[in-house]
Amino acid sequence: MLGGMRATADFWHVQLEHAIEPGDPQTIAYECSDTGSMDACRLIHRNADGSILQIDGRAANLSRELSEGVDVGLSVEHTLNPGNSFFIRATGTYLTAVRFKQFDAGTDFPVAGTFNGTSWPRWRAQLVTDWLHGGWRASYTAQYTDSLQECGDKIFPGDFAYFAVDQCRSIASRLVHGISGAYHWVSGLTVSAAIANLTDLSPPRVNTSGNANTDTSIYPVLGRTYLLRAAFQFR
């Protein structure tokens, strides 16, 4: 910490062994024939002549998952004079790796920086600034989501037969702005107003998403929105 400034950086690494997952029949057949994974092959039941009778797709402790990255943060607090100050807070996460393996001896699927039913942007960051002056408060926010690569589904081949595994496109990055302001009276009344998605940015198209052709978990879908609020605190 230097004066009113604080910076942090944290590395994290999470590895999950034998995660419970439902088995996808196509993936089980692929892993058995192409990688020779015994964990996959034992789920295939055959007739006496060797033809497939059935594939056991029940949920089981099959897969391995790994994710790691770095969280960074910076905060600045500065008082100009009594009752007049500003704050800046910036946080971000960088994914160094995200990998899935449905079977121990099976194919390793790296997905950091891609969309594969879930978005895995390399970078996600947020900036928040606040200015306080007497009863006034003004804020500005910015949220950044890195670009993604969307290719044919690699984890469950065949789910998108019209979209080849090696056919890829780029999902553009997004920077979403927001502003807000408020005034607080000593009587206990506070009036605030805000505009979210200030530039009315549309979410990017995600071809293989089953939810409105985008990812509603990380992109705003309502466009520019407004808020006006009055609150009174009884003393």
What's the token pair of residue 182? 């408020």
Helical (H) or strand (E) element with 18:
strand 5-21
Does pLDDT of 111 surpass 50?
Answer: yes
Count Cβ atoms within 10 A of the Cβ of residue 61 and give its class: 0-12 exposed, 13-18 middle, 19 or more buried.
exposed
DSSP 92-117: EEEEEEEEEESSTTS-EEE-TTEESS
End-to-end CA distance of the chain: 37
222 SS3 class: coil
How high is the pLDDT of residue 125?
98
- Work out the average pLDDT over 119-135: 95
Q: How confident is the model at residue 3 (pLDDT cuts 50, 70, 90)?
A: low
- Work out the average pLDDT over 113-123: 91
CB 69 within 8 A of CB 111: no
Place of tokens 């079977």: 103
CA–CA dist 77, 80 (Å, integer):
10
CA–CA dist 66, 5 (Å, integer):
33
- Work out the average pLDDT over 206-217: 85
| Pick from 119, 98, 231, 111: nearest CA to 171 | 119
CB 154 within 8 A of CB 109: yes
Q: Which residues pair with residue 195 across a beta bridge?
A: 179, 226
What's the token pair of residue 65? 């998952």
Note the pTM of the prediction, 2 decimals: 0.78
* Mean per-residue pLDDT of the chain: 86
In degrees rounded to 5, what are phi and psi of residue 60?
A: -155, 170
Chain length of the chain: 235
What's the token pair of residue 210? 């089953």
What's the token pair of residue 21? 């997952």
pLDDT, greater one: 70 or 46: 70
| Pick from 175, 69, 71: nearest CA to 127 | 175
